[in-house]
Structures are given as C-alpha cells and as structure tokens.
Structure 1
Amino acid sequence: MRKVLLIEAMGSAEDLLDAGRELGVEVVVATHREIYESYSPALKQKIAATVFTDFSDQDGALKDLAAYARAEGIDAVVGCWEFLTPLAARLSAELGLPGNDPERAAGCRNKRVMAGLFEEHGVPAPRTLLAADLESAISALAASGLEYPVVVKPAEQAGSWGVSVVDGPDEFPAAFAGAQGWPFESPHGFPLDTTVLIQEYVGGVEYSVESVAYQGRVIPLTVVQKFTTDGVFRAETGQTVPAALSDEDTRTLYDTTIAAVRALGITDGVAHTELKLLPGGHAKIIEVGARLPGDRVPELIRLASGVNEARAFIQVALGITPELTPTKDEAAAIRFFVPPRAGRFKSIDGLVRSPQVHRIAVYPNPHDEVRGPGDNDGRVGYVMLRARTPEKVNKAADAAVANLTVELE
C-alpha cells in the first residue's frame, strides 16, 4: 500500500483522509502529540497512523519528517494546514517527490512575499505598501498617493483575522494594531511575520477560483461566488458553486488565476485563489493559498460537478494524472450562521427548510460561549443547499436565511 504523509490534520483534512481511503492509500498525519489529543474521536478514526514532531522548529520538523519518510517509505507529501504549506514544499523537494517550488513556497503563506512575487511576475494585484510599525506605515501611506479606503492586513494570518477596511486616518492606528496582533501561529506556536500590508481597496465582485496544478500545468476547476460582510471587517458569510458568470468573465478569472499560481511556483498541488472581477472585464488577485479551500467548498464542488478536489490533490502528490472530468452539471451553496455579538448561544430561529436543503449544522450547544462577527471564527453553523443552477440555489439560499436569527442568552 502506498503511503501519503499529511502535514497536520486541520483545514480540509477530513476530505483528504476520506479521499486517501477511497484511493486505497495509507494516510499518515504529522502533528504535535498534544494537538493530536485534541482531535475529535471521528477524526482520529480516519487516521491510519501518526508521526509526532515540533512544528515550532520548522528546520527541526523538516529533518524529523524527512528521516521518518525515508524510513517508512513515504510516497507523497500533502500540505493541508495553510501555515505549514511551505514546509510541505520543502519536504517534498528534500525527498524528491512531486510538490511546489520550495524557493517560492513562502509566497503561498506570507502575503508580503506574495505581493513581491506578483509584482515581479506582472500579476495584476492591489498596490501594496509594507510597514513594520505605525509611524512608518503612516509615512508610507502619506507618500504613496493611495487614498482611503485602504485595506490593512497582517502578512501572515488566515480566516480574515486582523483584516479591516479603513475609511479614514482616525481609524488607521487601531486597524494597524489589530493587524499586528498575531505574533505567533496557533496552535503550534511558531513565530509569524508581523509586517503589516496596506493595500489599495479594490472594488468589484469577489470570487475564488479552485484549481489543480499537475507537472506545471494549472487546471482551473470552477469559479466560486463569495459572499462577505460589509463594513470594517469582511468575514465570509457564504459560497456558491459555480458562480453565475458569462464565459468571457470566467475566462478572465481563469487566466488571471493561472498567472498568479505560476508566479508562486505552484506546480504540483492545488490552489485556492481569491480575486476581484472589476468593471471593464479585468481582474485583480487578492491572495492565493497552496491548499484546499475551506468553508466546505470541496464538498460543494463534488455536489455541483462530481469532481473530488481532495482526491485529485493526493493523485497529483503521488505523480498520478488527476481525475478532473465533471460528471454532473448542477449547483450547490452554503450560508453560515453568525451571531450579532459575542455571548452565550441559545438557538437558531427562523431557518426555512426546503427540498433544496442538503444539510444543516449547528456547532455550539446551548449556553456555550460564542464569538461575535468580524472574522470567520464567529460562525455558529451553516445550511448547505443544492439545485439545478446557480440562480436557483442562490434563490433557495436567500429564502432559507432571510428571517434567520442567532439567539443569545
């Protein structure tokens, strides 16, 4: 049986574990011992074997895992947890296995490095300023000619943490402090780049493109319509697969995505690309991750097209031509439940059930403490739907949550 080493069972790990089982390969998870103990019983049941290391020491973890892989005959390396995708690229290269360019892999995680690679390779992206402290940020912004609103974000974070849209100079110091408030990754505890990015605000409509790279060829799978909150913080509230777009707009998003993925050296793996479609028919890249998408998007893609992106990811890592031919032409959507503020959870009220509803999930139990809106960790559940077309599934999703409320004690 062939063996795949999965670098941390977080993010969309269950999709990869399920795909590994379907492919008849053994998936070994690399993690911290104490983090493994925090896994749910259901997740532990899907893991064939584990290897423990310390990701807070990246060079040490590389050495440990390379030795383990050689001793155990590991055939492929797959990065799942976004913060560790550069380590997965380095390990693949060390072992001579398919993977992304280790010299550019940091750009798939660090937005400062990413912005530099986009500029170097002529990828259309928001104009970006970098600052290590508030004083230099204010000076750089004043000298740049950028006008408010601007986007302020940390170089290394995920899930919209620390990201805000700033409308004027009075809001800037607090936004900068918020972006710089994450000096260490959680839960592994390795240090993060505390550089802050100040970017031009890009209007237009936000989408993501999910793609698979195999032996240097980038194959877009679908365009996902993203729904986000307005205001200072832009948390994601839902996704629809596929987005209802013209062939021309889809091609624009695909071409822009391919340029970005290539610039970051993603040659054998998957890419989650967030971008804006602007008036006039052109696009700008917001960011790219060398990982499966979150928000249960892999499941939405399976429901809509029949393509299993997680399966394709493992196939690519094993050097096998990925199975990417659609077997369905439908649509699927997810909408998240978000409380109006932090507090103790009571109930979800007003959700409309219809034949299009595929699944409903509520995370907390009554009386559990929940976060407020502001980032993606504020969610308390979701409704997933499916229909024949994007227009029909969006209509059903709108109806399902039109009168929904998250009740707090």
Structure 2
Amino acid sequence: MKKLLLIEGNGVAGEDLIDAAREHGAEVHVATHQDLYEKYRPELIAKTAGVVLTDFSAPEAAVAQLAGYCADTGISGVICGWEFLSPVATKLAAAAGLPGNDPARADACRNKRLMSLAFEEYGVPAPATLVVDSLDSALDRIAERGFAFPLVVKPAENAGSVGVTVVEAADGLAAAFRLATSQPMEIPHRIALETTVVIQEYVEGREFSVETIVFEGKFHHLAVTEKFTTTGATRAEIGHTTPADLDPADRDALVGAAEQALVALGFHNGVAHAEIKLTPGGRAKVIEVGARPPGDHILKLVRHATGVSEARAYVQVALGEEPTVDGDRSAAAAIRFLAPDRAGTVRRIGPVPDSPAVLASTWYVGVGDQVDHALDNATRLGFVMLTAATAAEVNALADEIVHAVQVEIG
C-alpha cells in the first residue's frame, strides 16, 4: 500500500484530501502542529494511519524532520492542505525525492513580493506592482511610479483577504498600511510572516479562479470558477460558481494567463489555484497563484459540476500516477457565504429555505454571538451550497435563496 503525507489536514480541504487518498487505496499520514492537533475531530484522526507533530515556525528544521519521517515510514507522496505550508510541502517533496514542483520557486508561490518578481521575469500578465516597507516609502514610490488611484494594498504573505484594502485616495493609505501589517504571524502554526506591503494597480472586471492539476509539466485545467466579493474598501469573498458563465474567448484568456503564471512559478507536479481578473476588454491579469487545493469548498463544487475529483487527481500526481481528469457530467455548482452587513450581536439567523437544489448549508455562528462587519473571509456567518444544470441557473437560485435567509444583527 502506498503511503501519503498530508501537510496539515485541518483546513477546509483536509478531509476531502484524506477521503480521496483512502478511496484511492493510499494510507494517510498527517503532519500538524501540537496546538492544532488537539482540535482535530476524532473521526478525522480515525482516518489517518499516523501523525507527526511538527514545529512549522522553523521551516528548514520542519523539512528536515519530515524528510526523516518520510524515509523511516516509506512515504510515497506529499500533498498540502494548508496554504501557509505549501513551501514546506514543495521543499519536502524535493528533499525526499518525491514528485513535486521546483523547490527554488516554492516561496514565490506564497510570498506575493517574490511572486510579482517571478511574474515580471516571465512576462506574466499581472497588475503593476510595487513593494514597500513603510508608509513614507509607499508615498514616495507611488509618486515615482506614477500609480493612479484606486490601488490595492495587501500584506505580502497573508491569505483569505486578510489585510487587503482597496484605497480610493492617498488619505486612505495610512489606515490600509496599518491593516496590511497588523498580523505579522500566522496562527496556529506560529509562522512568522513577512511584513513588507504589496501595492498594486486596481484591475476593473470580473474575478475568477482556474483550478489546475499539473502532471509532469502538463496542465489539466479542471474548471474556471467565478468569484464574488463584497464591494467597498475591503473585499471578503462571498461566493463561487463552477463553471463560470464565460464565452470561449474569455475562458481561453484566463486559462492562458494561468499557464504563464504556473510556468513562472515552477509548477511541475501538483495542484494549482490561480486567481485572475478579466477586464471589460477581455484581458486576463493574474492576481496570485497558490500551490495548494482551492479553499471555500471549491473542491466539492468542481466534483458536483464536472464529476472530476480534484482531490483524487492531486493524490494521484503526488504518488507519481497519471491523474484522472475526465469528468462524467456537465452541470454547475455554487457556494454562497452569508456576510454580516454590520458589527453587532446576532438576533436572528436562518433558516435556509428547503430546495432540492441545496446540497449543504452550515452556520458558523448562532443567536447571541458577536460578529464583525465583513472585513475578510474570517467574518462569514455561514454558507449554502447548491447545484443546477447551468451557471446561469445556479446563480439565479443562489441569489434567491440568499435573499430569503433572514439575518438580523443588532
């Protein structure tokens, strides 16, 4: 039996990956941090054959420790279930002689400063970008480069829309800079985050992600997903639809830009989640790429819409096997997150209307809980997931159901 090491199984995609590996006949081992392992659900632990507790705050030592574990245990492949640990997974696969991506460019798949340099070197279509380490230098560099507002200000190494601000004028830069530098450490793994700030031109247009499996340098684009966000200064993600409702030319533009980005970042064997904006003129600009499965249950959306298990394909690639990427259905699936319109106390929430289209729904909060306004993805109230025959139909159903859910915050 082949053995697979999952680098952190407690994320949104963790159980999907574990289940896919087990269905494929692989034995699953998990590397995690002691503090997080204490929060693992018993049924999740029961699905694993082994657990190695690792201090990810020291990445080089973590790679060395896990390489020893791979050798001692006979691990056949390495996969990643937590965005912040994708560089560890890539470097570990290389150290253990297992399928993976280019370890020299692993950090550029997480760090937006390094990513922007790789994009520039390889001519990837992306927003104009500058990197600063202080507010004063930001003002000087913006003037020097002739950047026009609005601008996007974001931390170099965070995730989930945390610390991201769309700044409409220069007087908003100070607050945006404070927000971008407000979380210098990832919790619970205690990974120190680079505190430089990335400033980019704001790209008008619709937002998408391209979900890709890469095997021996060949790209298998499983789906293009449309992303929906809040408006205003902060942009929490409030929904996804797979596949996106696109004409062929626009889809080709998005997929082509994704491939350029994956080449620039050294993808060879693995999974990729590329976030891209499409301008009104049909130009694709890559915002960022992750060397990890998509979050927000997009793995489930892809499976419901296409019949392809992206999780299983990722497992197969990690084990050095040709991935199964041909689907058996043509439908659409969507997820919508309920976001608070203000900070306060939850007075009423739900229920989700009964509908045969609803696949699942979950509330993260209950009556009496305190909530913040929709600052980032961590402020969501819950979600509903649904399916229909086409993207247009599932989008209409999603709007109808979300509008019917009663949420009162006082």
Shorter-chain TM-score range = over 0.9
Letter paired with 1:8: E
Structure 1 equivalent of residue 374 of structure 2 = 373
Total equivalences in the alignment: 409
Instruction: Look up the match of 2:293.
Output: 292
Mean alpha-carbon deviation: is it higher for 347-356 or for 122-131? 347-356
Separation of aligned partners in 2, 1:16 and 1:294 = 12
Contact 1:352 1:399 in 2 (8 A): no
Deviation at 1:369, TM superposition (A): 3.3
Counterpart-to-counterpart distance in 1, 2:307 and 2:381: 28
Q: How far apart in 2 are the matches of 1:270 and 1:339?
A: 32
Letter in 1 for 2:130: L
1:8 aligns with 2:8: yes
In structure 1, the residue matched to 2:140 is 139
Q: CA deviation at 1:350?
A: 6.8
TM-score by length of 2: 0.97
After superposition, give the CA deviation of every residue in 1:259-291 in whole Å (9 maximum; x if it has no partner). 111111111001001101112322100000001
Distance 1:257 1:173, change over 3 A: same
What corresponds to 2:31 in structure 1?
30
Q: What does residue 169 of structure 2 align with?
A: 168
The whole-number CA distance in structure 2 between the counterparts of 1:224 and 1:173 is 34
Deviation per residue, 1:76-96 (Å, 9 max, x gap): 111121111111111111111
Alignment of 1:1-400 (within 5 A): 1-9=1-9, 10-349=11-350, 351-400=352-401
Alignment partners' CA distance in 2, 1:345 and 1:328: 40
- Per mean C-alpha deviation after superposition, the further-off stretch among 351-360 and 172-181 is 351-360
SS of equivalent residue, structure 1 residue 46:
coil
Which structure 1 residue ranges, 5 or more long, are not aligned?
A: none
What TM-score, normalized by structure 1, do the two folds share? Answer: 0.97
Counterpart of 1:73, as a letter, is G
Residue 167 of structure 1 and its aligned partner are, at CA, apart by: 0.2
Deviations 1:217-237 (A, max 9, x none): 111111101111110001111
Asked whether the 8 Å contact 1:86–1:106 carries over to 2, the reply is yes
Q: 1:359: Cα distance to partner?
A: 1.7
Percent of residue pairs bearing the same amino acid type: 50
Moved more, 2-11 or 162-171: 2-11
Q: CA deviation at 1:200?
A: 0.4
CA distance in 1, matches of 2:317, 2:343: 42
What is the identity, as a one-letter code, of the residue corresponding to 2:318? A
CA RMSD of aligned residues (A): 1.3
SS in structure 2 of the partner of residue 266 of structure 1: coil
Checking the alignment, whether the CA contact within 8 Å between 1:349 and 1:407 is kept in structure 2 is: no
8 A contact 1:371–1:377 mirrored in 2? no
Task: Give me the whole-angstrom Cα distance separating, in 1, the residues matched to 2:55 and 2:171.
Answer: 42
Distance of 1:355 and 1:406 partners within structure 2: 22
8 A Cα contact 1:146 1:200, kept in partner: yes
Q: Quick check: 1:4–1:77 contact (8 Å CA) kept in 2? A: yes
Once residues 280 and 409 of structure 2 are traced to their aligned partners in structure 1, the CA distance between those partners, rounded to angstroms, is: 41
Letter in 2 for 1:96: G
Q: How far apart in 1 are the matches of 2:81 and 2:356?
A: 34
Q: Distance in 2 between matches of 1:359 and 1:185?
A: 29
Matched to 2:317, the amino acid is V
CA deviation profile, 1:289-328 (whole Å, cap 9, x unmatched): 0011011100011101000001000100000000000100
